[in-house]
Amino acid sequence: MKLSKIDNLDMKILSNLLNNCRESDRQIGQKIGLSGVAVRSRIEKMLKSKLIEKFTLKIEPHLLGYNVIYLVTTGQDVNEIVKQVKLVGEPFFVVPCVGGYSACGIVVKGEVEQKIAIIKNLLKQVRILNIFEAEDAGIESNLTKTDLDVIEQLLKNPREQIDVVAKNAKISSKTVTRSIEKLQENPAFQFTLTYDPGKIKPYISHAILCVINGDVETLLKALRKQFEDHFMQIPFIAKNQIALFLYSEDIFEMDEMVQKANSVENVIAVENFMPKKISLPQDWIRNGIKENRKSERLHLLRI
């Protein structure tokens, strides 16, 4: 189905769902000045047109006991890159971009430096722009076996009603509610969606990657102030880099945003990327749940 028109209200709805797809239509409507019915109608329109591809979960791999390698390449088919890195670990995000660039996140177990060396060897014919281990943010993994049951159900439909999740997981609605509330409070866990960047026209989806030299929180506040009206989702932070996920009305506004980011004090380099597709593979989550169910660290939640 061809999407008739995307406007700023659609973009605000999309942004809200990207950051928390469990928000109700009514809650989103209250934020942007629409009724819940009007919000639902717009979401249905975006689903039918495949602008919204699917609702999904984004979990920081450290939460399930994995290490993470970030990889940025250019000049090679992303499917071939994914095929190679699967010999080392599992992809948890894959983003091919305009201009031949590709960004991947890879979950691995074991010695990370050794894994990075293997990836470099596997991709000898590929120009690697950046490869590094993600820092563990130190977020406590206090997941219970009951939480894992709830997550497993939510993988099927992150917007599922609590009573349906409870019935399928064979636990009480009260327990499911408590578990979901805990997950929503954890910054390593996100209810989100994947979308087709090519279908948000006339807007342009892009990511401005800022290499910084200074306090991350201070710089994040300065960048938020510059672009708060154009954020699509929560910025991504890794070591000395902040990735801002933005949307612009045209290439001229996009260029202005790049220049603004460059002018922020202690931002030492800026790159602009335009995603062609965004994938969040989930095989590693299902495998992680199976492995963590065996762990003595987990405890059963009393119902």
pLDDT digits (tens, 9 = 90+) for 56-84: 999 999 889 899 999 999 988 899 999 99
As to burial, measured by CB atoms within 10 angstroms (0-12 exposed, 13-18 middle, 19+ buried), residue 179 is buried
CA distances from 65 to 111, 120, 157, 253, 292 (A): 13, 24, 24, 41, 8
- The residue behind tokens 């890159």 is 81
Q: Domains in the chain and their CATH numbers?
A: 8-50 (1.10.10.10), 55-191+277-303 (3.30.70.260), 197-273 (3.30.70.1150)
DSSP three-state, residue 70? strand
Q: How sure is the predictor about 298, in pLDDT bands with cuts at 50, 70 and 90? A: low
Q: What is the pLDDT of residue 148?
A: 95
| pLDDT over threshold 50, residue 22 | yes
Per-residue pLDDT tens digits for 38-53: 999 999 999 999 999 9
Q: CA 160 to CA 139: how far, in whole Å?
A: 26
DSSP three-state, residue 2? coil
Contact by Cβ (8 Å): 150, 291: no
Q: Tell me which residue of 95, 290, 62 sits closest to 209, measured CA to CA.
A: 95
Q: Which two tokens stand for residue 176?
A: 């499911």
Q: What is the pLDDT of residue 254?
A: 96
pTM, two decimal places? 0.89
Q: Which two tokens stand for residue 87?
A: 């010999």
